[in-house]
A = this chain, B = another copy of it.
Amino acid sequence: MARKASLSGFPEWLPEERLVENHVLDTLRRTFELHGFSNIETRAVEPVGQLLRKGEIDKEVYGISRLQSEESATAEDPNALALHFDLTVPFARYVVENAGHLSFPFRRYQIQKVWRGERPQDGRFREFTQADIDVVGDGVLPFRYDVELALVIAEALAALPVGDFRVRVNNRKLAEGFYLGLGLTDTAGVLRNIDKLEKIGADKVSELLQSELGATPEQAAAALALAQIRAEDASFVEQVRELGVDHPLLEEGLAELSEVVSTAAERAPGRIIADLSIARGLDYYTGTVYETVLVGREKLGSICSGGRYESLASKGNRSFPGVGLSIGVTRLVSRMLAEGHAVASRKVPTAVYVTLTNDDAWAAAQDVASQLRARGISAEVAATAEKFGKQIKFADRRGIPFVWFTNADGSHEVKDIRSGEQVAADPHAWVPAAADTSVQVGALTEAD
């Protein structure tokens, strides 16, 4: 994986790397479906007006227009088309358009490419795959889904060969209630500055809180003290109370975050923690917020983020609250590949290469291959009857573990290229070891 993308920011994988990515996608899909999430896909393009509703990210959006057309897409034309930059905005539109056909709470997952015209850098791409899960209600959505989604994501990530991770959870009500209780009314402003904590450090954030928002040194210190709190269970509640701030919204937030973290401590111990520094830049979250880091590789940034939004979308006076998370699949896979953390057991799907004794044996060899495939064993047939040594060498170079021979008397033999062992075999019955039937993808162990 020392190859560079031929177009900066648009990564492409080799076939054996794609096996790792497909393993990740299959694992996510399986986990989400076991939890009752339905799959949808939305079109790649949205009207510019729809895409830019939520904020000031127009610089990052790719407009599209037919090469022969006089007009090109601009930020000023709300009907111009542009590539989606996430899966949340298109999902919100989909829910509103199809509300009459969906049952709420609607559980969906969506795995698609998204595009952002930003400057490519480590872990950031112009084209990348996101895997999103959300539950959306019609009018109301019980808080329990905030707990459930954290557990589903922890289960999905634990099934991947990514090593240890932490889902860090916070709650906007908790933070905002705390700031209000402190007497800081521009809660969005405080959050925005707290979000810079990891980048610029506590001293700088304190300065900004005082200079920009008029906080006293004591208020700034309290806001920063809140952001220092981390816990693997509900013990964070006591730590917050020790800061001596009181507000009804704070109480609500404490209760909600406690419910997530206490349940998680029982059902997914050590995976999901309260981290009161988590702010999430986007301003539409209204309660729970999630971020996820790989332990020891925190610098990579969040590989899975999300939260609760009181109104994902609305239709007339009907509102659709939701809670969801989005996994940055490309960021995750590119890191797995770059660090050699995951590897496919072979380079191709093929398990058996059926050799030819002579050029007329092709039909009989295809019969053997069909019999193997009927038992789920991937097989391909040589196209020409080269010398056996050459046919074996070809299979070996492709990474195919077994070669099949048909003898002049009609008997069959199969050779494991890796061990050199060759045994008699019946095309109607022979099966390889389970680990050799299909490609396995797993974490490299220390021994490798």
Number of copies: 2
Chain A residues packing against B (C-beta within 8 Å):
3, 5-7, 10-15, 18-19, 22, 33-45, 47-48, 58-69, 72-75, 81-83, 93-94, 97-98, 101-103, 105, 107-108, 113, 115, 117, 127, 142, 144-145, 148, 151, 263, 266-267, 347-350, 362-363, 366, 373, 376-381, 383-384, 394, 397-398, 400
Question: Are the CB atoms of A73 and B72 closer together than 8 Å?
Answer: yes
Give 14 new A-B contacts, CB below 8 A, not counting A36-B379, A45-B127: A3-B101, A6-B93, A13-B41, A14-B98, A15-B40, A15-B108, A19-B39, A34-B349, A35-B373, A37-B349, A58-B67, A62-B67, A64-B83, A66-B117
Mostly, the A contact residues are mixed
Question: Are the CB atoms of B97 and A6 closer together than 8 Å?
Answer: yes
Question: Are the CB atoms of A61 and B66 closer together than 8 Å?
Answer: yes
Question: Are the CB atoms of A12 and B397 closer together than 8 Å?
Answer: no
Pick the residue among B6, B74, B94, B263 that contacts A363 (CB under 8 A): B263
Give the docked Cα–Cα distance between A208 and B322 (Å).
62
Question: Are the CB atoms of B61 and A63 closer together than 8 Å?
Answer: no
Question: Are the CB atoms of B34 and A379 closer together than 8 Å?
Answer: yes
Complex: chain B residue closest to A17, CB-CB: B40
Question: Are the CB atoms of A94 and B373 closer together than 8 Å?
Answer: no
Give the docked Cα–Cα distance between A38 and B47 (Å).
36
CB-defined A-B contacts under 8 Å, sample of 27: A5-B43, A10-B45, A14-B98, A15-B38, A15-B108, A18-B41, A33-B378, A34-B378, A35-B373, A35-B380, A36-B349, A37-B349, A38-B348, A43-B127, A59-B67, A60-B66, A62-B66, A63-B64, A63-B66, A63-B72, A64-B115, A65-B73, A67-B75, A67-B117, A68-B75, A107-B380, A144-B384
Question: Are the CB atoms of B376 and A34 closer together than 8 Å?
Answer: yes
Complex: chain B residue closest to A58, CB-CB: B67
Cβ–Cβ < 8 Å partners of A36 in chain B: 348-350, 378-380, 400
Question: Are the CB atoms of A59 and B66 closer together than 8 Å?
Answer: yes
Complex: chain B residue closest to A34, CB-CB: B373
Question: Are the CB atoms of A44 and B363 closer together than 8 Å?
Answer: no
Give the docked Cα–Cα distance between A119 and B362 (Å).
46
Give the docked Cα–Cα distance between A142 and B381 (Å).
12
Question: Are the CB atoms of A267 and B380 closer together than 8 Å?
Answer: no
Question: Are the CB atoms of B15 and A102 closer together than 8 Å?
Answer: yes
Question: Are the CB atoms of A13 and B40 closer together than 8 Å?
Answer: yes
With both chains docked as a complex, state the minimum distance between the C-beta of A1 and any C-beta of chain B, in angstroms. Answer: 11
